[in-house]
């Protein structure tokens, strides 16, 4: 699958607030699906599983099965790729503009 199609899936996955919250929950340590369901108790288990499926499809999480447990690990590489492609270059340009403005304004 093309890089563009992969990035489309990442952007789609990140478009939902609850999926971003799930990724935040996985930022410091992996978690079982059961623990994530308990953490997001306002959602039923099936809904949490659907969100996890979207995140897994976008390669934002890596799932590891241990016995009856399903462990969800954050995969930060797709987020880094989005940063490198979209955020980094734009931020660098903005910083350059600010540096020129500062130089122009200083006596």
| 81 within domain boundaries | no
Residue of 93, 14, 26 lying closest to 6 (CA atoms)? 14
Kindly state the tokens that stand for 32.
């079982």
Q: Structure pTM?
A: 0.81
| 100 within domain boundaries | no
84-96 pLDDT per residue, tens: 988 888 888 887 8
Q: List all residues 6 or more positions away from 30 whose beta carbon is below 8 Å from its beta carbon.
A: 64, 71, 72, 73, 74
4-62 pLDDT per residue, tens: 888 899 999 999 999 999 999 999 999 999 999 999 999 999 999 999 999 999 999 99
Kindly state the tokens that stand for 22.
């799930």
| 32 within domain boundaries | yes
For residue 43, the 8-state DSSP code is S
CATH number for the domain harbouring residue 68:
1.10.10.10
- Domain of residue 67: give its range: 3-75
Confidence of residue 1 (pLDDT cuts 50, 70, 90): low
| 89 within domain boundaries | no
Q: What's the domain count of the chain?
A: 1
């Amino acid at each position: 699958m093309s890089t563009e199609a992969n990035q489309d899936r990442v952007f789609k996955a990140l478009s939902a607030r609850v999926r971003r919250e799930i990724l935040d929950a996985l930022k410091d340590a992996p978690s079982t699906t059961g623990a994530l369901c308990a953490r997001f108790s306002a959602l039923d288990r099936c809904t949490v599983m659907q969100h996890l499926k979207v995140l897994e499809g976008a390669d934002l999480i890596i799932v590891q099965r241990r016995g009856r447990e399903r462990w969800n690990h954050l995969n930060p590489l797709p987020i880094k790729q989005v940063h490198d492609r979209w955020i980094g270059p734009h931020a660098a340009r903005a910083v350059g503009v600010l540096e020129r403005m500062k130089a122009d304004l200083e006596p």
